[in-house]
Amino acid sequence: MYEEAAEIFLKQVRDELGEDYTMEQLLRFQMDMELITPKTTGDYLLKEEFREILAAQKDKPKKEQLSRRKINDDIAARHNMAYSSVYNLTRDI
């Protein structure tokens, strides 16, 4: 059942966006189809932003690395959000 649904969805995506599409185009397509909401899309993007910043920290010397809390604070400030909401999204990363 899930495989059939996935195949139908992928066909719809390819029909609408073609074979080569960006993640942003896919997210907008899913929002247009009302498969996801702006909140879940925002949550996903915040998690991706957190992962990217965290991954970039690994190349820096230990003393120059930002703490997870500092990363969360920066993301919360940049998106004008409460720290706790960002923390709740990223605590499992």
Average pLDDT score over the chain: 79
pLDDT at residue 75, as a whole number: 83
pLDDT for 67-85, tens place per residue?
Answer: 888 888 888 888 777 666 7
pLDDT at residue 36, as a whole number: 65
pLDDT under 70 in the chain at which residues? 1-2, 35-38, 40-41, 82-84, 86, 93
In angstroms, rounded to a whole number, what is the distance separating the alpha carbons of residues 66 and 88? 18
pLDDT at residue 15, as a whole number: 87
pLDDT at residue 50, as a whole number: 86
Q: What is the DSSP string of the chain?
A: -HHHHHHHHHHHHHHHH-SS--HHHHHHHHHHTTSS-HHHHHHHHHHHHHHHHHHHHTTS-GGGPPPHHHHHHHHHHHTT--HHHHHHHHTT-
Domain coordinates of the chain in residue numbers? 1-36, 37-93
